[in-house]
Amino acid sequence: MLDHKPILSRTGKTEFIRMVRYKSENHVGVLAQFMTAIASEGGSVGDVTTRKLGKFYIWRDVTIIAQDREHFAQIIKAIRALPQTKVEQIIDEVLERHQGGKIKMVINHQIETVNDMRAVYTPGVADVCRLIQKDPDEAYNYTWIHQTVALLTNGTRTLGLGDIGPVAAMPVMEGKAALFSKFTGYNMIPIPILSKDPQEFIETAIQISAGFGAIHLEDISAPECFEIEAALVKRLNIPVMHDDQDGTAVVCLAAVINACRMVKGDLANVQIGQVGLGAAGSAIARLIMAYTKRNVWCCDKNPAAVNRLEEFRQNSATLEEIMERCDVVISTTGVERLIDPSMVRPQQIILALTNPVPEITEEQALNAGAAFYSDGRYVNNLLAYPGIFKGALETRATGINDPMLLAAVQAIVDATPQGEIVPSPLDPMVHRAVTKAVAKAAMTSGIAQKDLDEEYFDVEEKM
């Protein structure tokens, strides 16, 4: 087994999860003994799968949830002591799912005969090349460009892992690409860029941009990410979005709107504070101000982050001041346990989004009097980026603007079930709703190069 950080459970406690593959005698009560051995050591059970059922033996896979590696070892020791059970293998399910990567290229047409080959390649392809040479817009009809997004990273700020480089970040990129394809039917191609120089990154992106309909920036450290996104938005005529900024901001704003409805009634009646002005925090504050037309109090330990935008300078405060005066507090600092429970005001809404350990835990916040709490596990960018990019691509938008982002916010809010802060990111209906909302906003805001008819918005899409 490889050593991985334990993950955070729904209760805020760390968990160590492994799958145990075992063989046991096929007698009544043997499975109960197995489960009892786990429970007696304080462990929990996830999935149970019967792999093979024989006359004398049964082979099963059981997911065991422990507190940490040492606790898991105690559970395994108890299982190995069972006389009718033999542990065959301990499997890290996460590593299993990543073997061989998570995405691949597939063809749209079968190639079985010589005629098939001649049609898709030489000599038939020459006619298509000449057509595109004569009218470059035909590339949107005869290539995959309009259905393909370049996913660019240099791996300098990957999840909670930090600067691990673009190759080590590839599993994250493949995961995002796989989910994008699942919920849009379109393509996302991970491209690692071996440079920490913003200008080199920018020029590389520009040089490859002709082969893609949009650019998705991911896991790039601040402040370089601001420079890179701004330059690409200015120099390219295709949608560009840094998901750690804009995607996070969209989902967070939707969560804030829903939380306020559950607790306060209306976002217009609350004061909001943003703690941390990195890539995510600055975008969250900016989008909330665009939505509410009101100030958001901001703070960051780095003066440069506060001074980066005029609205941040005007609305700067200390952490203590934000906790004292704000009804809603959003924190994206990356600093574990930053917020002391004594700072929490009664009936405050707190979104502590740092992963894997937030600025304050749910138990601490609620015990201190907070009316509502959520952490980063529920504010998932998957709710936003597939639909935002597909809506932009469908309309051949020249960029992604605030009306499109705010349309995505409203679509997520409208799709949220009663009593939830956001909908499930695995619900295809959410992605369809975001796609259509963003497409309509692109058209009405004047940056769409292709107008979609009303039938597009009335008929259910098949994904």
Residues with catalytic function: 121, 176
The helix (H) or strand (E) run that includes residue 73 is helix 69-80
Q: Phi and psi of 110, rounded to 5°?
A: -70, 140
Instruction: Report which of 421, 276, 254 is spatially closest to residue 336, judged by C-alpha positions.
Output: 276
**CB of 176 within 8 A of CB of 247?**
no
At 161, the amino acid letter reads L
What residues have CB less than 8 Å from 9, skipping those under 6 apart? 15, 65
Cα 249 to Cα 243: distance, rounded to the nearest angstrom: 9
* Cis amide leading into 386 (omega within 30): no
Cα 255 to Cα 102: distance, rounded to the nearest angstrom: 29
Instruction: Say whether 457 sits in a helix, a strand or coil.
Output: helix
Cα 79 to Cα 376: distance, rounded to the nearest angstrom: 35
Residue 272: strand pairing partners: 328
Residue-wise DSSP of 397-451: -SS--HHHHHHHHHHHHHTPPTT-SS--TT-HHHHHHHHHHHHHHHHHTT--SSP
Q: Is the dihedral of CA 83, 86, 91, 97 positive or negative?
A: negative
Instruction: Say whether 355 sits in a helix, a strand or coil.
Output: coil
**CB of 60 within 8 A of CB of 50?**
yes
Q: Phi and psi of 213, rounded to 5°?
A: -85, -15
Q: Phi and psi of 347, rounded to 5°?
A: 70, 15
For 463, the token pair is 């994904």
